[in-house]
Amino acid sequence: MDKNDKRTNTRRLLLRGAVAIGALSAARILTLPDTDTPKAPVGRNGAAHAAKRYPAAPAPPARGTLPVQAPDTYRLRPLAGEPSPWYPDAPPPHAEVAFTVPTRTREIALTFDDGPEPSFTPQVLRVLRSHDVRATFFVLGECAVAFPEQLHAIVGDGHIVANHSWTHPQFTTLAPGRVRSELGRTSDLIEKTLGSPPTLARAPYGDWDRASLRICNELGMSPVNWSIDSLDWTRPGAGRIARNIMSEMKPGAIVLSHDGGGDRSQTVAALEWYLPRLLDEGYTPIRVEY
């Protein structure tokens, strides 16, 4: 069995386990343990809310200590790249990979990959809804076809659904025809489910090359990567995830997190903690729109 087959089998096993994990996770209330980051109060920025003094985020773990959970085995790292036409009524796709959102204010973009998923996607949506915040969800076709109701929930809350391929392969290892199939099948499913095709795409691992970028553009989508990797896929603990984001935050940042692909309870707990703090610091989360 080659590396691509192993990676695909791993993703399928994770997908089969999503419902079981979701049932267990939904049965308990997510709270941060005393040794991790405290749960943030709900609310947008304002005088009364900003006046509250938050406990300091916990110190980073000592060097050489193990993460709280093993990282997802199929994760790799980022890259970038190039151009062409588009679907009717869709904005012209950008040829260049976007790593930030253009802004002169403290606007940022929160993005979530590898869903939808029946347990953690609703939990992420709940936190975003409680702060009246919008985000962008890069979905996998194999998950979207299994949980179409979650696509409707994402759009119903005012978020954007974007394309993250069908099975999460590394594009730079595939023939162009396979890349086109991965992106095209997912776009077709999103259009069939929601009534319009996606205009944004993110390559698995952020790994684009000339061929995959050309195909992305030909399918009417602009490529999007990120400027802040929360590293939530390593499952280092909610406090570490929150610090990864807060320490790198700046206007225009695109934040990478995940609502699928594994146990995302740490991602949800971290989001509950850092989102109100970002709002209090004057940041405004927006959807990625090109």
Which amino acids are annotated catalytic?
113, 258
Q: 78 vs 4, 203, 256, CA distance in Å?
A: 18, 9, 11
Report the length, in residues, of the chain. Answer: 290
Q: Phi-psi region for residue 230, left (φ > 0), alpha (ψ -120 to 50) or beta?
A: alpha
Q: 43 vs 23, 38, 56, 69, 272, CA distance in Å?
A: 28, 15, 19, 30, 11
3-state secondary structure of 275: helix
Which of 64, 74, 65 is closest to 5 using CA atoms?
74
215 phi/psi in degrees, rounded to 5: -65, -40
